[in-house]
Structure 1
Amino acid sequence: MNKRMIIMLLGVGILFGGIFGFKAFVNAMIADFFDNMPMPTATITAGEAREIPWTRELEAVGSFTAVQGAMLTSEVGGIVREIRFQNGARVEAGQVLLVLDDESDQARLRSLEAAQRLADLELQRARRLAAQNNISEAELTRRESEAEQAIAAVNEQRARIRQKSVRAPFSGDLGIRQVNVGQFLSAGDPVVSLQSVDPIYLDFSLPERRIGEIRREQTVNVRVDALGREVQGRVNAIEPAVSASTRTLRVQATLDNKDGSLRAGMFGRVRLETGEPEQRVVVPQSAISFSPYGNSVYVISEDEEGQLIVNRRFIQTAERRGDLVVVTEGLSPGDRVATSGLLKLRNGSRVEISDDEQVQPRESLAPRPDNA
């Protein structure tokens, strides 16, 4: 009985051993097949590391502000009698924009002017009498004082009447009026905004560590996304003190705005060139795999059979501008790099470069294809 059991157990062991051995053999053959199976050729696009003149730039985001801007109000209250402007109109300094009802003030002015004429006549009569020694010096002085008081009263009333109108304090463009004819306007109520935007200011801030790189009259290039174009101006003012809370320095530039396309409140992307151009190696940004562990590119070369392959190479990068990135270490001018299909590549991958026309990388802050 024991002998049979032993033989049976041996048979079962041999059977299972054969099964497991065959399974291991099959797995080994499959693994060997995949290890030796040639990788499929990946289709990519390629770019070239090239050396170009590169000027260091400061970048910031700024906001356009009017050279002069104000919300016009009335100094005194009253009923609106006339509105002498159109919404959005261009006006000149001193132009009357709104008139309040001044009928009672005009009547008061006529009364004071009559009193002034009477005081003037009495003064002239007093002077003739004084020349004949017919009145005292005190009486003449009183008449002179009354005449001066009458003139002052007239001037005061005229000033009060002038306050019944709203005038443009400077030349500029009006906004949309906030009053209507017949409406009662209290002192200080808003009437219409007035902005002088030719030229126009652009305010922006720079970190305090870049103070030494900016100066007055420096050229400023501004990309205005709302207009889809770039405009140019010059630095006209630099704040003398750094903000203690933000550690930044406020800078103001002036730009021409003859067509009025730039509006107060719009924002722009600012570029300021600092220093002379230097030769730097650049590659398209699409060629770089950015990673916390290091940035890399796939460099294209030929193997022993003349087939194109790629190998991963870690690089050091610096400034970026538009589609281009400066490479300080890891590439030389003329090195070809993959610019698309990076996720399907690994060291030694065979590649085929697509014949499709590529969009050329540019330095612009907002690059656009030629056919856009």
Structure 2
Amino acid sequence: MSKRMVIMLIILAIVFGGIFGWKAFVGMKINEYFDNMPQPAAAVSTYEARPDNWALMLEAVGTVNAVNGVDVTSQVAGEVQKIEFESGDTVKKGDVLVTLESAADRAQLNALEATARLSRQEFDRYQRLFKQGSISKSELDNRRAQRDQSMAQAQAQQEQLNYKTVRAPFDGRLGIRRVDLGQYLQPGTPVVSLTQLEPIFVDFSLPEQELSKVEQGFKVRVRLDAFPDETFEGEISAIEPGVDAATRNVNIQARFENADRKLRPGMFAKVNIQLPQAEDVVVVPRTAISYAPYGNAVFVLQDSDGKAKQEEGKDNGEPQKIVKKRFVKLGRQRGDLVAVVEGLKPGEVVATSGLLKLRNDAKVTIENDVQPSADPAPTPGNS
């Protein structure tokens, strides 16, 4: 019985060992097949990196500021008698905005002018008497001082009366009215804001190392968030002679004619300064760049070592294309194009679509029926 038991156990061990061994062998072959299974070629569009000559530009951010902008105020106290403007009006220098009640001041002016006339007449009489030798020189001088004092008092009252009329100090556009009829104004009370919109300034700053590249008169282009499809052109009107010791930046001011009055004080502006110099660059579409925190890269197309196998129904005989991932250093952007400073040479072909499917040494097929945009100055399709 023990001998039969041993033989049976041996047979069972052989049977089960063969079964498990066969399953292990099959699993190993399946894994080996999937590991070595050729990946299907990814379809990509391509672009040949080309040399270009780009004018040098400096970029900055700035703020739109008015040439003149104030809150028009009353210099004297008084009750508002007339309001001669509407909110948002365009006015000229000297236009009347508000008239204050001035009856008492005008009556006082009449009294002072009467006193001044009397003083002039008395001085004229004393001057004739002095020529006749009837009075002394000191009496004549005393009358002259009285005449001058009364005339000065009348003139001062006239200026006080003029202050009762609030006028626009320069050409510009009014804001929202801040006073009402019958309101009593104290000196310095704001009446309305007034802003000169033509011309207008854009103030911005550049690092001190860029100071040698800019000069007064250089062309400046700005873009505004309020008008994203428009570019406004002006020129540098002033450069601060000193550099800010805290930021090491130099302040610059550009002047814009602003005939359409679209630039308004306080707006955020993206500034581009056109420099007379140019640089040679290698450009590719922005869609060709694989952006990553550890570095930007492109996929460069190369021929594989062997010939492409003839597919069923096809016989192209061309080398199989593969891609090599290459890290690059990027420069400035212009429209849909980006400059590659390092890592790419003119004439090399890069993939511009399907980048998410690519890896190093991946096989690709080229399908350039639909090309990503590579316009240096793109415009909206509905413009």
Any residues of structure 2 matched to 1:55-94 within 5 Å, and which? 55-94=55-94
Whether the 8 Å CA contact 1:58–1:274 is kept in 2: the answer is yes
Letter paired with 1:99:
T
| Unmatched 5+ stretches in structure 1 | none
Q: Kindly provide the amino acid, as one letter, of the partner of residue 368 in structure 1.
A: T
Aligned-partner residue type, residue 375 of structure 2: P
Aligned equivalent of 2:26: 26
Residue 340 of structure 1 is matched in structure 2 by 353
- How many Å apart are 1:134 and its aligned residue? 3.2
Q: Tell me the distance in 1 between the aligned counterparts of 2:92 and 2:27.
A: 91
Moved more, 273-282 or 63-72: 273-282
Give the structure 2 partner of residue 106 of structure 1: 106
User: Partner of 2:379 in structure 1?
Assistant: 368
CA distance in 1, matches of 2:240, 2:8: 98
Q: Equivalent residue for 1:349?
A: 363
Q: Relative to structure 1, is the Cα distance of residues 103 and 3 closer, same or farther in structure 2, using a 3 angstrom cutoff?
A: farther
Residue in structure 1 matched with residue 331 of structure 2 by the alignment: 319
Task: Please tell me whether residue 359 in structure 1 is matched to residue 373 in structure 2.
Answer: yes
Rounded to whole Å, the distance in 1 between the matches of 2:15 and 2:75 is 110
Structure 1 distance, partners of 2:322, 2:191, is 69
Q: How many residues align?
A: 369
Q: Which residue of 2 aligns with 1:256?
A: 257
What's the counterpart of residue 311 of structure 2?
none
Secondary structure in 2 aligned to 1:56? Answer: strand
Q: CA deviation at 1:271?
A: 1.3
Distance across 1 between alignment mates of 2:183 and 2:192: 14
Retained in 1: the 8 A contact 2:331–2:339?
yes
Matched, 1:328 2:341: yes
How big is the alpha-carbon RMSD for the aligned residues of Structure 1 and Structure 2?
2.3
Correspondence list, 1:113-192, <5 A:
113-192=113-192
Quote how far apart the aligned CAs of 1:5 are.
6.5
Determine what percentage of the aligned residue pairs are the same residue: 44
CA–CA distance in 1 between the matches of 2:144 and 2:114?
A: 16
Amino acid at match of 1:356: V
> How much does 1:15 deviate?
4.5
- Distance in 1, Cα, partners of 2:247 & 2:177: 38
Cα distance 1:302–1:353, how it changes in 2: closer, same or farther (>3 A)?
farther
Alpha-carbon offset, residue 165 of structure 1:
2.0
What is the letter of the counterpart of residue 159 of structure 2?
A: A
Amino acid at match of 1:63: T
Residue ranges of structure 2 left out of the alignment (5+ in a row): 309-317
Shift of 1:9: 5.3
What secondary structure, in the 3-state scheme, does the structure 1 residue paired with 2:51 have? Answer: strand
Cα deviation for residue 143 of structure 1 reads 2.0
Q: 1: distance between equivalents of 2:141 and 2:121?
A: 14
Q: What is the rounded CA distance, in whole Å, between the counterparts of 1:355 and 1:281 in structure 2? A: 24
CA shift at 1:275, angstroms?
A: 4.8
Work out the CA distance in 1 between the residues paired with 2:344 and 2:326: 9
Moved over 6 A (4+): none
Q: Which moves more between the two structures, 221-230 or 15-24?
A: 15-24
- Residue 235 (structure 2) aligns with: 234
Q: Determine the C-alpha separation between the residues in 2 that align with 1:330 and 1:142.
A: 95
CA gap 1:334/1:318 in 2 versus in 1, 3 angstroms: same
Shift of 1:96: 2.2
Paired with 1:70 and 1:350, the residues of 2 have a C-alpha distance of 65
Instruction: Classify 1:283/1:104 alpha carbon distance in 2 versus 1 (closer, same or farther; 3 Å).
Output: same
State the distance in 2 between where 1:113 and 1:275 align: 66
Distance 1:15 1:192, change over 3 A: farther
Distance 1:242 1:235 in 2: 17
Residues 106 and 13 of structure 1, relative CA distance in 2, 3 Å threshold: farther
Equivalent-residue separation in structure 2 for 1:255 and 1:42 (angstroms): 51
Secondary structure in 2 matching 1:160: helix
Q: TM-score, normalised by structure 2?
A: 0.88
* Partner Cα separation in structure 1 for residue 112 and residue 9 of structure 2: 136
State which drifts further: 250-259 or 310-319. 310-319
Stretch of structure 1 that moved more, 56-65 or 37-46: 37-46
Alignment deviations for residues 264-318 of structure 1 (CA, whole Å, 9 cap, x no partner): 1112211123352232111111111123443321223455222663312314323
Q: 1:110 to 1:39 in 2, by over 3 A?
A: same
Which has the larger displacement, 248-257 or 350-359?
350-359
SS state of the match for residue 217, structure 1?
coil
